[in-house]
Copies of this chain bind each other. A is one copy, B any other.
Amino acid sequence: MIKRILVTLPVTESHKRRLERYASDCEFRYIPLPDVTAEMVQNTEIIVGNVPASYIKASASLKLLQLGSAGADAYISPGVLSSKTVLTNATGAYGKAVSEHMFAMLLCLQKKLHLYRDDRLTGSWNDYGTVTSITNTRIAIVGLGDIGMHFAGIAKALGAYVIGIKRRKSNCLRQVDEIHLFEALPKIVPEADVIVSFLPSTPLTYRLYDEEFFSNMKRSGIFLNGGRGNAVDQEALLSAVKERRIFSAGLDVTDLEPLPPEHPLWAEPNILITPHISGMYHLPETLENIVEIAAVNIENYLAGKPFENVVDFETGYRK
């Protein structure tokens, strides 16, 4: 029987050849995301791409939903997917793109480029004083998956002291100087110059970074979030930066996206915000990586083999 595969990624001809290479007896439909209808979603066995969760309605025909994202929050809520659907994500595709973006934000804040940039509007020639060097920086990375490990590799290559914080025990890896479990976070925070979070949105991560957390940070500390916005209590963060209890924050994700123009986070000079663009397909190789993951999972499905990147509904991470 012909199997229907709906692909909503912005693929090129060469990507299509890769997806179809070993997929016989399949009918591929390539539909740009805005043109996808609920009916298309209902009548397919495999979907590659983040179709609106509301279109799925626990369709029993859907055997594999291969997301184009690492985050799976929209699809793990009860009732979205049938128990017959396997959910796989694109963990591994975004490591370079997101880590480099967050690292650029870090250097920008360390060198105060965000303040100098604001002076463009008035053409002012102000001096914002001392800066810090990555070589003397103690960085705690919360969430040590693909993105966190990439970030660790960059920071370590430039001479930072890197502390990795994970959910599960593992050996110390080449890219990190120390590795700890989540429980150790309160002990690590007061000694860290930089804390960068790559946590997904799950009940366990909701507002993990709260008033107490920020009170625990160094006054010179920099907080970065490249995971999900709702891990942060934004009011607590804003107060900490405003009252100079921490130096600054770099956020590619916020709680509410887009962040409304009147939101007070915009008004604080020492908060650097980018509109959740570190991932996407802004680095062309990210899409190559996603297509490769999807192609392998389509092959696994057809061959009856286990899938890669299966999402754990409890954690929102890859299993």
A135 is contacted by which of B96, B103, B129, B274 (Cβ under 8 Å)? Answer: B96
Interface residues of A in 250-277 (CB under 8 A from B): 257-263, 266, 272-275, 277
* Contact A273–B129 (Cβ < 8 Å): no
* Contact B134–A266 (Cβ < 8 Å): no
Minimal Cβ-Cβ distance residue in B for A262: B123
- Copies of this chain assembled into the complex: 2
Residues of B within 8 A of A272 (CB): 113, 117
Given known contacts A120-B266, A125-B275, A273-B120, A131 and B101 CB-to-CB distance under 8 angstroms: yes
Q: Does A171 count as interface, using CB distance less than 8 angstroms?
A: no
Q: Does A105 count as interface, using CB distance less than 8 angstroms?
A: yes
User: From residue A68, how far is it (CB to closest CB) to chain B in Å?
Assistant: 16
* Contact B130–A283 (Cβ < 8 Å): yes
Q: Does A24 count as interface, using CB distance less than 8 angstroms?
A: no
* Contact A123–B263 (Cβ < 8 Å): yes
Q: Does A133 count as interface, using CB distance less than 8 angstroms?
A: yes
* Contact B96–A104 (Cβ < 8 Å): no
How many residues of chain A get a CB closer than 8 Å to chain B's CBs? 56
Given known contacts A131-B101, A283-B133, A113 and B108 CB-to-CB distance under 8 angstroms: yes
- A134–B266 alpha-carbon span in the complex (Å): 29
Minimal Cβ-Cβ distance residue in B for A120: B266
> What 0/1 readout, one digit per residue, does chain A (281-293) give for beta carbons within 8 Å of chain B?
1111100000000
- A206–B119 alpha-carbon span in the complex (Å): 28
Q: Does A157 count as interface, using CB distance less than 8 angstroms?
A: yes
* Contact B100–A130 (Cβ < 8 Å): no
Given known contacts A96-B133, A131-B283, A158-B158, A273 and B111 CB-to-CB distance under 8 angstroms: no
Q: Does A13 count as interface, using CB distance less than 8 angstroms?
A: no
Residues of B within 8 A of A104 (CB): 104, 107-108, 110-111, 113
Residues of B within 8 A of A127 (CB): 275, 277, 280
* Contact B282–A116 (Cβ < 8 Å): no
A96-B135, A97-B131 are known; give 16 further A-B pairs, CB within 8 A.
Answer: A100-B134, A104-B104, A107-B108, A113-B274, A116-B275, A120-B273, A123-B259, A123-B260, A123-B262, A125-B257, A125-B259, A127-B280, A130-B284, A131-B282, A132-B283, A154-B158
A-B contact list, 13 entries, CB within 8 Å: A97-B131, A103-B107, A104-B108, A104-B111, A105-B111, A105-B113, A108-B108, A111-B278, A113-B113, A113-B274, A127-B277, A132-B283, A157-B158
